Amino acid sequence: MSKFIHYSSLTKKYIMSIAGFFLMMFLIVHLGINLFILPITENHEDVFRNGVEFMTSNPLIKVMEVFLFAAFIIHIIYGAVLQIKNWMSRPVRYRIEGWSHTSFFSKFMIHTGIIVFIFLVIHLMNFYLVKEGFTEALSGPVTVENNHDFYHMAINLFTNTTYSVIYILFIVLLGFHLNHAFQSAFQSLGWNHSRYTPVIKAIGNIYSIVIPLGFILIPLYFIFLY
């Protein structure tokens, strides 16, 4: 464990970045399934249920789940460790703080990170831990059939407007986090190139808008159209 903490600053950052990449890929898959809550196809409910079924029971995914949790934990612990060192590196603050950080959201990674973490805990309580039988599904307009019935759990949550608004806020902050995270992960791994870095930054911007937008569509649907 102590070796884990005492890795050099760069090694910690590689691990952070790799874990981050993994999480960003997971988000795409997650969004892909979530979108089927919306009536985008005839059989969207079946697609969603099948997706959830696959994601919760496929042995390969089970293995991946371990990695996923590991990635979350590592990303969070290293984020905290690095941040504490960063705070310790400037014991006396400036009277006037600098504003020259050219990557704006980078200034707030720890803040957006903590908020995303809180969201993650709520999210796990609402779904994952229900499935595992640790928590109860919240009640709402529809009946939850069993602890694998994510479809009805989701509908119950999103039809609660307060929940949906908070959900949207969390996702926007996640977008801020992702905006810096995407290109930063490339930089930390040493992938900087005069021609490709602007492309990476552009992809990062698109990613950090499209993914949250996709997630936000769902509560929006429930607020305005359901």
Partner 1 sequence: MNLTLKIWRQENPQAKGRFEKYDVKDISSDASFLEMLDILNEQLIHEGGDPVAFDHDCREGICGACSLYINGRPHGPDTGITVCQMHMRNFRDGSTITIEPWRAKAFPVIKDLMVDRFAFDKIIQAGGYISVNAGSAPDANVIPIPKENAETAMDAAACIGCGACVAACKNASAMLFVSARVSQFAVLPQGKIEAAKRAKSMVAAMDEMGFGNCTNTYACEAECPKNISVSHIARMNREFFIAKVTDSAKK
Query: Which of 92, 139, 146, 224 is in the footprint of partner 1 by CB under 8 A?
Result: 92
Torsion, Cα 14 15 17 21, to 10 degrees, reads: 130
In whole angstroms, the minimum distance from the beta carbon of 169 to partner 1 comes to 23
Q: How far apart are CA 36 and CA 151, in angstroms?
A: 9
Q: Which of 121, 157, 166 is nearest to 137 (CA)?
A: 157
Does the footprint of partner 1 cover residue 100 (CB under 8 A)? Answer: yes
Stretch (H or E) spanning 87: helix 59-88
* Residues of this chain, 45-84, that bind partner 1 according to CB under 8 A: 82
Out of 1, 2, 42, 95, the only residue in the binding site for partner 1 (CB under 8 A) is 95
Selection from 185, 52, 167 nearest residue 118 by Cα:
167
Return the DSSP state at 191: -
Q: Which residue in 36, 183, 207, 208 binds partner 1 (CB under 8 A)?
A: 183
Q: Which is nearer to partner 1, 62 or 193 (CB)?
A: 193
What gap in Å lies between CA 51 and CA 56, rounded to an integer?
9
Among 5, 29, 62, 85, binds partner 1 (CB under 8 A): 85
Among 99, 139, 146, 225, binds partner 1 (CB under 8 A): 99
Kindly list the residues in this chain that would bind partner 1 in the complex (CB under 8 A).
8-14, 82, 85-86, 88-103, 106-107, 109, 180, 183-184, 187-194, 197
